[in-house]
Structure 1
Amino acid sequence: MRNVIKFRVLFLMMLPTLAIVIFNNYLPMFGVVLAFKNFTFSDGIWGSAWAGLNNFKYLFQTDIAWLATKNTISYNSIFIILNNVFAVGLAILLNEIRNGRLKSVFQSTILFPYFLSYVAVSYVLYAFLGESGFINMTVLKGLGIDAVSWYSAADKWHFILPLVNTWKNVGYFAVVYLAAIVSIDPEYYEAAVIDGASKWKQIMHITVPMMFPIIVIMTLLQVSRIFNADFGLFYQAPLNSGALQNATEVMDTFVYRNFLLNGDVGMSSAAGLYQAVVGFVLVLVANTVVRRINKENALF
């Protein structure tokens, strides 16, 4: 109680954020009950009949649900690897740029895609991949290759989506890792230079090991959302093309289609709860593995 009185100003400053978290993250948890009900709008949440585990049975019996599960985990696993590898490399590259003004220009440039909405990204993609886009009319035509109908070729989007995700997010991760690099004591590098260490050895034996704790934290945060897909990337960027569903159907688009398009509230809630539980278990498992290797790098 003494601490509350002593730091009352800080607690008051925390209240708005706490209210937002409770309102956005905790109050909606009461909606979990819909996953176990045969919901109808006329009866409401509490008046609708209980369905038990029927919504989950139907969820796991549909091929599209398993496709969405496979795609979600596969894509997010690839995203985690690409985002971390390219972001670490880009952060190291930026750190090697000694000119402060030039560094700030690079940071602004790489961060720009992160703030673009996927509506804007969809226009950029279409300018490149449309029937009269840059790839077909300039690149392929110049090479004497027939135009490709990109928005009908599902197999090609297994490569396009990771590229788009990396382009959009690598700048954000790079800035986080750059902050970690800047905090490294310069004396380590000075000692390495005296010992005759090359720039590559300095990176591999000083920079990367000193960055490792933040890399682990960022990876764990991404693993916690491995069962949540970026709706804009998989729905808006490919223009919701039905021909691409095998490559773009993930849990978030699956929930959207069942809820807004099919009106199946119970099924959507069951899928959402399925996402949350699996994500929670995965982050616990990942954190346990990290804790066994090095307790200091674990989140909790």
Structure 2
Amino acid sequence: MNAERQRAKKKGIAFELNKNAFLYLMAVPGLVVLFLFNYMPMAGVLIAFKNFDFSKGIFGSEWARPIYNNFDFLFTSEQTFRATRNTILLNLLFIACSTLVAVGLALLLNEVRRKLFKKFVQSFTLLPFFVSWIVVSVFAYSIFAFDQGMLNQLLGWFGISKVNWYNAPQAWPVILTLIMVWKSAGYNSILYIATLSGVDTSYYEAAEIDGATRFKQMLYISLPMLKPTIIILVLLAIGRIMNADFGMFYGIIGDNPNLYATTDVLDTFIFRNLRVIGDVGMASAASFYQSVIAFVIVLACNRWANKYQNGSGLF
């Protein structure tokens, strides 16, 4: 019986490959890029457990003694806990706020009947995504600079004393969240708009006949239809929860010790230690720690998603 199943399975795979040969052929370049830039670099994990020597390479360098030697500074430094906490909390803020705004934007645009206006709003909200973080950092400085910043000038007009924003760590989680939402909401809304465009219009017609208002149609038809897409995109975002956007943090915040309390994330922490200490093994150990924590969080969230709605998880 098992042999028959194996033969049927092999026949099925061969049939599938033959039937969709051109589709699989088109996927080859993408798979090659994925292998070269995502799987081959995994060999670099060994650096976290070695006394890395550039002249000897990854495989020629001696193993660290003890094997966990490169991890000592991680678990003995208070900065590691601070960077981990900041990374998780800031990314949770980014994910929650960006998702809420993107879903809200998609729901509102779905109600717009004038195509020209709809396309204009979509294009207008999508533009910030293509602005580099360097340009965004210039805009941010022009707004929050102490002497000539637009925000402090505005406060001065109302008789309020100036605020040194680059010395106020408590304000930056909100500022960074607003910047991230402004930059990513339009792009994130694209998939939600695409999902809503595929909803059968007969649902809305039936609801309209029953006397449902546009708001109730949005609440009881559009939003439930978006639920699977929201769960998948949030899970994918959680997969990167330990990876802060280095360009954003280093471009806007820079190496400002006054703001480390709320803005020092793992990426800037690793970069700073690599630059100051110059130990590749320690930097690799921090990166490995970052990946393991992210993996555990994804597994936990995926399990919760499957319990919440069967089959809604990634696996």
TM tier, smaller: over 0.9
1:136 aligns with 2:152: yes
- Greater Cα offset, 282-291 or 4-13: 4-13
| Partner residue, 2:29 | 16
Which residue of 250, 253, 256 corresponds with 2:268?
253
**2: CA distance, partners of 1:49 / 1:249:** 32
Report the TM-score, using the length of structure 1 for normalisation. 0.95
| Partner residue, 1:122 | 137
State the secondary structure of the residue aligned to 1:226. coil
| Partner residue, 1:171 | 186
Report deviation, 1:239.
3.2
Report deviation, 1:256.
1.3
| Partner residue, 1:50 | 63
Report deviation, 1:6.
4.1
- The structure-2 alpha-carbon separation of the partners of 1:260 and 1:6, relative to structure 1 and needing over 3 Å to count, comes to farther
The percent identity for this pair of structures is: 44
State the secondary structure of the residue aligned to 1:39. strand
Contact 1:235/1:248 (<8 A) preserved: no
State the secondary structure of the residue aligned to 1:237. helix
Contact 1:122/1:239 (<8 A) preserved: no
**Bigger-Rg structure (1/2):** 2
- Greater Cα offset, 45-54 or 164-173: 45-54
1:189 aligns with 2:208: no
Report deviation, 1:2.
4.4
State the secondary structure of the residue aligned to 2:53. coil
Contact 1:92/1:178 (<8 A) preserved: yes
Which residue of 146, 151, 155 corresponds with 2:166?
151
**2: CA distance, partners of 1:96 / 1:161:** 30
**2: CA distance, partners of 1:241 / 1:108:** 35
1:232 aligns with 2:247: yes
Paired residues for 1:213-224 under 5 Å: 213-224=228-239
Paired residues for 1:73-152 under 5 Å: 73-131=88-146, 132-137=148-153, 139-152=154-167
- Greater Cα offset, 248-257 or 9-18: 9-18
**2: CA distance, partners of 1:128 / 1:37:** 46
Number of aligned residue pairs: 299
| Partner residue, 2:284 | 269
- Counterpart of 2:209, as a letter, is I
- The structure-2 alpha-carbon separation of the partners of 1:5 and 1:200, relative to structure 1 and needing over 3 Å to count, comes to closer
- Counterpart of 1:34, as a letter, is I
Contact 1:258/1:265 (<8 A) preserved: no
Q: Cα RMSD (Å) of the superposition?
A: 1.5
Report the TM-score, using the length of structure 2 for normalisation. 0.91
**1: CA distance, partners of 2:299 / 2:110:** 33
Report deviation, 1:107.
0.6
Which residue of 37, 45, 65 corresponds with 2:50?
37
Report deviation, 1:192.
0.8
Contact 1:69/1:250 (<8 A) preserved: yes
Report deviation, 1:49.
2.7
Report deviation, 1:13.
1.6
- Greater Cα offset, 289-298 or 37-46: 37-46
**1: CA distance, partners of 2:17 / 2:214:** 50
Report deviation, 1:127.
1.3
**1: CA distance, partners of 2:41 / 2:149:** 43
